[in-house]
């Protein structure tokens, strides 16, 4: 399965023409239907570069009927803002993180449980198994998923050094404004969540309103947030799920043959994004270290403490953070993967 690499990530397509007008333009050489695509990914990042490439190929496939104007760096707003506009019909598609998609359907949150997965390969296996179910749930709510994947591991970046869950509970943890699921999740773990717009994070790190946040290293480096929060906990807290969603009515207006080719392009390019993002994570951390980032290593006892405390909360997440049947499915597929790894004969 081809995958979509994503950031805390997170892009949006907004139409400058009525949706009904799109269908009549598709497949014809007329004035392009300009679609705005916004993303919180930094300008000139690997995510931005791949989106530019996809724009060109989609334009060629549709004979110019679908054209994208790409706005990087979060100028289109944060994910919750974008999703609200999508629901109101003001935007037509989005490249979203699991946190953002949870605003549309809580089933996605079953894959965004802290410390549930130990490797991205393990995460990939479970995502492959669960993607059809998640796609149907999203389709039933008006959205078509064109790809899935991850933006790497979210890690904690903090103003001051810390190591344990108890120390984190004494700090003020950033979360996206309007993301009630994430506020609820952090609350279950006893963390003090402070909801803010993404664009307010840097300023509020400096004023002290927040002093810790969790994002993939590529995002922390791209926005240079690590300058105000120069302590990174070397712990894989959660793999950041991502997907490209488009409103059903817009997607269904595209001729089937063009849909297929556009899917293939999106799959190829987003697989490249994911591969590049994973490869660049280590170099991003090294680069930040050159500019003062301190990487905090955890000993085995502290790692075990984190896993033990997170696991104690898992039962309270059932049907509150994610549907119990999907949480159970995620654990079942994860355990199947682990069993196959420990006993290669089990997969034969």
- pLDDT tens column, 277-327: 888 899 999 999 999 999 999 999 999 999 999 999 999 999 999 999 999
| Residues forming a β-bridge with 194 | 174
Domain membership flag for residue 344: no
Q: What is the mean pLDDT of residues 66-82?
A: 80
Domain membership flag for residue 88: yes
Q: What is the mean pLDDT of residues 113-117?
A: 96
Domain membership flag for residue 341: no
Domain membership flag for residue 342: no
Residue 233, phi then psi, degrees to nearest 5: -80, 120
**Which DSSP string do the residues of 215-246 spell out, in sequence order?**
E-HHHHHHHTGGGT--EEE----EEEEEEEEE
Q: Provide the domain limits for residue 138.
A: 11-325
Domain membership flag for residue 302: yes
- pLDDT tens column, 89-101: 777 878 888 888 8
- Which stretch of DSSP H or E encloses residue 144? strand 143-158
Confidence of residue 7 (pLDDT cuts 50, 70, 90): very low
How many C-beta atoms lie closer than 10 Å to residue 202's C-beta?
A: 14
Instruction: Give the Cα separation of 85 and 82 in Å (integer).
Output: 5
Domain membership flag for residue 332: no
- pLDDT tens column, 128-147: 999 999 999 999 999 989 88
CATH code, domain with 168: 3.40.190.170
For residue 240, what are the contacts with CB-CB under 8 A and spacing of at least 6? 6, 7, 8, 9, 97, 98, 99, 112, 150, 151, 152, 153, 154, 215, 216
Report the number of distinct structural domains present in the chain.
1
Judge contact between 151 and 7, C-beta under 8 A: yes
For residue 133, what are the contacts with CB-CB under 8 A and spacing of at least 6? 107, 326, 329
Annotate 98-135 with b (16+ C-beta within 10 A) or e (fewer). Answer: bbbbbbbbbbbbbbbbbbbbeebebbbbbbebbbeebb
Q: In the structure encoding, which two tokens stand for residue 191, read together?
A: 């963390």
Domain membership flag for residue 5: no
For residue 295, what are the contacts with CB-CB under 8 A and spacing of at least 6? 232, 234, 285, 289
Domain membership flag for residue 336: no
């Amino acid at each position: 399965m081809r995958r979509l690499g994503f950031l805390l990530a997170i892009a949006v397509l907004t139409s400058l023409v009525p949706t009904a007008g799109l269908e009549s333009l598709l497949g014809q050489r007329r004035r392009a239907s300009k679609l705005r695509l916004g993303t919180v990914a930094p300008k000139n990042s690997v995510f931005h570069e791949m989106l530019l490439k996809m724009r060109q190929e989609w334009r060629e496939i549709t004979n110019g009927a679908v054209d994208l104007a790409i706005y990087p760096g979060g100028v289109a707003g944060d994910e919750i803002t974008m999703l609200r506009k999508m629901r109101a019909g003001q935007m037509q598609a989005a490249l979203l993180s699991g946190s953002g998609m949870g605003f549309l359907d809580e089933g996605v949150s079953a894959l965004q449980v802290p410390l549930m997965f130990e490797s991205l390969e393990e995460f990939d296996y479970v995502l492959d198994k669960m993607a059809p179910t998640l796609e149907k749930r999203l389709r039933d709510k008006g959205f078509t998923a064109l790809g899935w994947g991850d933006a790497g591991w979210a890690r904690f970046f903090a103003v001051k050094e810390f190591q344990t869950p108890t120390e984190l509970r004494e700090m003020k943890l950033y979360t996206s404004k309007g993301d009630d699921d994430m506020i609820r999740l952090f609350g279950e773990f006893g963390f003090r969540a402070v909801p803010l717009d993404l664009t307010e994070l840097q300023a509020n790190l400096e004023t002290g309103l927040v002093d810790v946040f969790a994002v993939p290293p590529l995002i922390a480096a791209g926005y240079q947030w690590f300058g105000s929060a120069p302590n990174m906990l070397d712990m894989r807290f959660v793999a950041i799920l991502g997907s490209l969603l488009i409103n059903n009515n817009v997607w269904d207006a595209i001729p089937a043959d063009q849909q297929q080719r556009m899917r293939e392009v999106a799959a190829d390019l987003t697989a490249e994004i994911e591969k590049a993002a994973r490869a660049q994570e280590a170099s991003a951390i090294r680069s930040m270290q050159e500019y003062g980032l301190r990487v905090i290593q955890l000993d085995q006892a502290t790692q075990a403490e984190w896993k033990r405390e997170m696991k104690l909360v898992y039962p309270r997440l059932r049907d509150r953070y994610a549907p119990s049947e999907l949480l159970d499915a995620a654990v079942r597929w994860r355990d199947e993967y682990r069993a196959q790894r420990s006993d290669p004969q089990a997969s034969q």
